[in-house]
Homo-oligomer: A and B are copies of this chain.
Amino acid sequence: VERLFDGVREFRDNVFPERREQFEQLAKAQNPRILFITCADSRVVPEMITQTEPGELFVCRNIGNIVPAYGEMMGGVSAVVEYAVVALGVTDIVVCGHSNCGAMAGLIRGDEALNKMPTVRSWLRNAHAARSVVEVLHPELDGDDKIQALVEQNVVTQLQHLGTHPTVAAGVASGKLELHGWVYDIETGAIHLHDAAQGRMVPFEESQGNQALKRKAST
């Protein structure tokens, strides 16, 4: 942890002074336009892969970039979504999965390790629909390919869950809110986007013209 303290010192002495003005302006309020939901994985740094500044991304991070569907037991992610839409009025929500996700790997392989992590196992029930779909659609896959398929399908499933939240459903219906599904590849730095029209992930370039998942509330 000593390394952490060195970093804090470095930030205070060398990084912050150069940004003093920026932070002084931010000190009294935040006004992010984007809610970014991604995995807790240490290799995924939202502000780096989007090259955004402090104040731009409202960030939720949990195991497997999951958004439980709206229901009776509302927890932390649902609170983030509600706060982002109602209090902050964000215009976009990105759900960002990533390659080599340990949670997705454990889920699709049925890792015994999950037996020692009952809370994680229970949490990943929110990705069961994605797993069921992958097993039905891609019985031929295994290993990393199967994990990658789940990573991608899981992003779609979590977008569907997002749509069950009343504030999100209303925002999308009114056109004030757009939902985006991304997958970040750690090894190449590439980001693929979910293209609703094609029903699949496409390279960032290809989806540029129509990058947002425009989900009509009535669909």
Docked pose: A15 CA to B4 CA in angstroms: 23
A59 on interface, CB distance cutoff 8 Å: yes
Least CB separation from A91: chain B residue: B1
Given A11-B48, A11-B49, A166-B128, does the pair A42, B70 have CB atoms closer than 8 Å? no
A180 on interface, CB distance cutoff 8 Å: yes
Number of copies: 6
Least CB separation from A185: chain B residue: B27
A108 on interface, CB distance cutoff 8 Å: no
- Report A's interface with B, CB cutoff 8 A: 1, 3-12, 15-17, 20, 23-24, 26-34, 40-45, 47-52, 54-63, 66, 68-84, 86-87, 91-92, 94, 99-100, 102-103, 113, 116-120, 122-126, 128-133, 135-137, 153, 156-157, 160-161, 163-170, 173-174, 178, 180, 186-191, 196, 199-200, 204, 208, 211-212, 216-219
